[in-house]
Amino acid sequence: MAKKVSLLCSVLLLSLLVLPASFSADQKKEVLVIKVDGVINPVAAEFIGRSLTTAAQMNAEALVIELDTPGGLDSSMRNIVKDMIASTVPVVVYVSPSGARAASAGVFITMAADVAAMAPGTNIGAAHPVSMGGGEMSKTMSEKVANDAAAYIRSLAERNGRNAEWAEDAVRKSVSITATEALKEHVIDIVSEDLPKLLASIDGRKVRTVMGEKTLRTAGTLIVTKEMTWRYKILDFISNPNVAYILMLLGFYGLFFEFTNPGAIFPGVAGAIFLILAFFSFQTLPVNYAGLLLIILGLVLFILEIKIVSHGILTIGGIIAMVLGSLMLFESPGPFFRLSLSLILPAVIFTAAFFIATFRLAYTAYKRKPVTGNEELVGMEGLARSDITEEGGTVSVHGELWSAYSDAYIGKGERVTIEAVSNLKIKVRRSKGG
């Protein structure tokens, strides 16, 4: 009997040990997939950083970044690379879909990946650094920046056993190659038609993370896609140079309308919001503040045109200043940081018309003679009904009799002009020709 009880306990204990293991084996591993499509900026850097954290929390087998970028900011790229290197989850960069590219900052991100892959019909390269702060770099500074970038990308390539010579050429000579050439030159690890095939092909591959060497088990894993939230999408949208430019102009319009029409409230509130959003965008863009000052100067010249007779010279100067400032505002060799000329010209013409028309209306209203109250009497003519002196007299205006006085003697029956109204008494002077 004791032997039977002992045998039963052994079976139960073995079952308890085996069942969790079988449940664990049946539970599918997950791969987190995100898409980065556009310029590498602080929004993209934050999105990738948060995604790496999410992948670690869900104990994902890997994080796949589907990449398609023309490049972006050096600071944002370096933040992304640092997060990737420090990740406990293996990172796979997949340049896709067909027609996509990993240019400039995208090359560095691809080189930093534990697994670098490309879809057929994609390309990678052209990573030469450019001035991202507005203005041209001196020859010495350009060499320093190029040397720093070359050393950085070479270290990333060597870390992951890739072609360091080509990586350096991508920086120094801006070379670019196709996916097939990249695989042949050992710039990337795999060329794959789609994501499921990519995950199947890297299954069993060994990669090195901060936690040590890890063998990828990605075949048949559950693919979890993480989209950008509305917050990221909105921030990414307003980080577009053209959108930032429009927000800045709308902010100026709103505040100007509020200052010329105190109490309207809505234009002032909207203008302040637009300007704050524009200033946020400027933090993510290579702003040339000389261009911003030229735009402000153009707006000032439009306003001065109303008060100073310049025969259009101030308006022409304002248009020139604003066009030049707009062209200089986001100075960068990369087209993704330039303002579209088809946006600049209509914006300048509309701004000139808006400021001139709005300020003219406000200035005309300010100078217009009052048409109600006692103030409307100022400047009107009347007839002296009695002799008028400093002591007083009587004047007929609009069929009404008013008590009046004058600094100079005015005889009865003479025409007078009203100079001021005070406490139901008017001050008059003899009318010209009266």
Choosing from 10, 82, 144, 310, which is the catalytic residue? 144
152 by Cβ neighbours in 10 Å (0-12 / 13-18 / 19+) ranks as: buried
- List 104, 192, 326, 332, catalytic entry: 104
Here the tokens at position 225 are: 């896609």
Q: Please say whether the beta carbons of 163 and 189 come within 8 A.
A: no
Contact in structure between 330 and 339 (CB atoms under 8 Å): yes
List own/partner pairs for 96-99 with CB under 8 A and 24 or more apart.
Answer: 96/66, 96/67, 96/68, 96/122, 96/194, 96/195, 97/66, 97/68, 97/122, 98/122
Is residue 138 annotated as a catalytic residue, yes or no? no
C-alpha to C-alpha distance for 221 and 58, rounded to whole angstroms: 13
The question of whether 427 is a catalytic residue gets the answer no
Given CA atoms 197, 207, 171, 86 in this order, what sign does their dihedral have? positive
Q: What are residue 284's phi and psi, to 5 degrees? A: -100, 5
Give the catalytic positions in this structure. Answer: 104, 144
